[in-house]
Amino acid sequence: MFRIRAVESPPDAGGLRKVWHRGARNAELVSEIDATGRVARHEFSLFDDVVIWERGRGFITGASQGSTRGGEKFEYDLTTDSDRMARVSAALEPYAGRDRIIHHLRELVATTQRGEQPLKDLGAVTGSNQVPDELELKAAAAEKPRTNKALVWISIGLALIALALAVLALK
């Protein structure tokens, strides 16, 4: 995946929020993150291949017939399809970004490639404040104190006026 664009929804009544990632070449990842910052569910689609991971359940695979959101037009495989998992693994492997949600899915997929079925999540992907690291970094950069040029010029102007008044008072 590359050229990722992530969008996050506010938490629902149960505390789950959805984070959507869309990449080029018909790749989409929808993840449900709980209030503790842990992944409850990933749904990854790559062209017609769909891979869904749920905590406590593991992976299921299938094929989509259009949008897969909400399980619409989705044909489940009887068992986890190793070819689909291999294609998903190949799509996720070159990702070199810092998004922990994508890394989480990639590691889960790699676990299945080793012959295991991961039922537990791999730890929190966001902090307790529920904001991904990338957004926190952008917010911190935006909040850096910037010298207000107008304030500097006003201060210089006031200093010059005070100096001129002092010189006039001494005459």
Q: What is the pLDDT of residue 168?
A: 87
- Order of all β-strands in the sheet with 49-54: 5-8, 17-23, 27-33, 39-46, 49-54, 58-64, 74-76
Q: Kindly tell me if the per-residue pLDDT of 135 is higher than 80.
A: no
The string of pLDDT tens digits covering residues 118-134 is 888 787 787 654 455 56
Q: List the chain domain ranges.
A: 5-140, 145-170
The string of pLDDT tens digits covering residues 24-33 is 777 899 999 9
Strand partners, 127: none
Q: What is the pLDDT of residue 50?
A: 92
Q: Is pTM, for the whole model, over 0.85?
A: no
The string of pLDDT tens digits covering residues 62-109 is 998 765 454 457 788 888 899 999 999 999 988 888 889 999 999 999
Assign 161 a pLDDT band (cuts: 50, 70, 90). very high
Calculate the CA 5 to chain-centre distance: 8
